[in-house]
Structure 1
């Protein structure tokens, strides 16, 4: 992450939250959506998630029923045992991990259930999806800890 755009990205992201919000609220969605796949690829050509893993260290994905079924099968445990061991229900009524970091995150920042990880993990950080524009609060939060979201927002706001 030694590229100039990524230098001091955490500080810059904090300083630029109002700019990001304004951009996300007042833009041509179709124009932005068409740019997301390329910007997503560009961001991940410069950022190695294994060097960061802030998402896995500090936040939890939602574990939906299909995720619970799939992961339980992989771990060879009953769904109820998986839920009791690893999950809790959050204020929104979703299953999330009991604590952070994620219990499936290894010391090398690799996920022990990567092939079967929850759909939220597969999709994160949503930089190639309409979620980036539709869930502004989530995007702003994600930009504060994920360099890929910061990168995509910086590129988008520079293009205006």
Structure 2
């Protein structure tokens, strides 16, 4: 089973503190944009992506997605840690949020979200640029 989307629109940015559970690195489609491919390739990583489906391209504007291991884990996950963390894709950099110009989406399944606290949207804004632009084309947010 793969999670396609578990995001809901929220009125304010909740707090966040990563629990290092690696739940977001399993059974999820990680879309990749050109700058993700360039960043990871320049860091020496290869054979980590494949073409996105037509639906993924339509929904996210991403032409590629991360390859996964047979068990559904990201190929960069080793001992519950990302071996490419410094070079990780924008999908991973923005998770568990998508921050647009006038909307915030938050993952309902991330255990690190602190719903009762106020958070800072700015660190998530730049990695959200491409997907928020694609979402705005197809959904009224």
TM-score, reference length from structure 2: 0.58
Task: List structure 1 segments (4+ residues) > 3 angstroms apart after TM superposition.
Answer: 129-135
Structure 2 residue aligned with 1:126: 97
CA-based RMSD of the aligned residues comes to 3.2
> Could you tell me how far apart the structure 2 residues matched to 1:72 and 1:119 are?
14
Structure in which a larger fraction of residues adopt helix:
1
What is the count of residue pairs matched by the alignment? 104
- Give yes or no for contact 1:63–1:118 (8 Å, CA) kept in 2: yes
Name 1:148's counterpart in structure 2: 112
> Quick one: structure 1 residues 132 and 125, their matched pair in 2 at CA, closer, same or farther if it must change by over 3 Å?
farther
Report if aligned partners of 1:56, 1:105 keep a CA contact under 8 Å in 2: yes
Whether 2:35 is the aligned partner of 1:66: answer yes
Cα distance, 1:60 vs structure 2: 2.8
| Larger Rg belongs to | 1
Q: Taking structure 1 as reference, are residues 76 and 155 closer, same or farther at Cα in structure 2, changes over 3 Å only?
A: closer
Give the match for residue 92 of structure 1: 56
- Is 1:126–1:132's contact at 8 Å kept on the other side of the alignment? no
Closer/same/farther in 2, CA of residues 132 and 114 from structure 1, 3 Å limit: farther
